Every structure is written in structure tokens, then in C-alpha cells.
Amino acid sequence: MKIHIQRVYRNGKETKGILQLYGYNNIEIFKCYTEELPLKVGAPKGSCILAGKYRGIKRRATFGMPYEFIELLGVKNRKDIYIKVLSITPDEDGSIGLAERNITYIENKEYNITTSWETLQRLLNIIPQVIEVTVSNI
């Protein structure tokens, strides 16, 4: 299995993309949308995750993150990069939030966060503990 995130739109306030999970014979078995908000500190063009190939590790809930998430390892000059539930505000280090449909982030935040959690849970239920994650730019 492998995850591919293709960024499709960037305007300086947000970066949207499509996450696709591929299984045996590169058959798509899961698809959702992604949302990256700009960092609070120094990220060019609103994204902290350079295009490339990373190792994704499924992590359990922690004190600072009350739900499971995927940590991306090997992101140059960054730490604490996650695939997770949509954030309400920009992250210190940056992450990729999931959505069941392509949304405008300022729409009904409560609905978006609830469906984001459900979307993340569906993805986590399918993937192995360690997975290849590729990120591509527009």
C-alpha cells in the first residue's frame, strides 16, 4: 500500500489536494481531500512539506493529540508533520488535514472537523503501521 497526495490548488492562505490510497496492483482503494493551512512561522507559499517521498507511521493518541494520526518522517528541516484532523488555526510546524469532500475551510468549521475525524478514522482502519507517502506539487 502507498499514499499519494497531489496538491491541486494554492492561494497563499491554503493549499488543497487529493489523497489517494493505492493497494495491490496500484488500484485506488481510498480517496479524500486535503487541506494545508500556512504555517505561523516561515513557510514559503503556505506549505511546509516539500514534494517528495516520506515514511508514514501510524501513531496512537497522545496527550497533545487526542486521536490517532499519521506522522511523516524525513521532511527536510521540519518535525511534527502529520496527516490528521483539520486544524482550526495554522500549525506551528504544519500538517495535512483530511476532509471527505473538497471544502472551503472557512465553511462550517464544526462540520468540517467532525467529518475530518471520520475520514481520518476510515483511512487509519485500512493502512498498515508503516506506509510510503508521496507528496506532489501542482
Structure confidence by residue, pLDDT tens digits, 13-60:
778 899 999 999 999 999 998 888 766 554 455 566 888 999 999 999
Q: Which fold has domain 2-136?
A: L,D-transpeptidase catalytic domain-like (2.40.440)
- pTM value is 0.85
> How far is Cα 9 from Cα 72, in angstroms, rounded to an integer?
21
Is the model's pLDDT at 71 over the cut of 50?
A: yes
- The mean-pLDDT minimum among 1-5, 22-26, 49-53, 107-111 falls in 107-111
Contacts of 32 (CB under 8 A, 6+ apart): 18, 19, 98, 99, 100, 119, 123
> How far is Cα 112 from Cα 100, in angstroms, rounded to an integer?
8
Question: Given this model, what pLDDT does residue 104 score?
Answer: 54
| Domain map (residue ranges) of the chain | 2-136
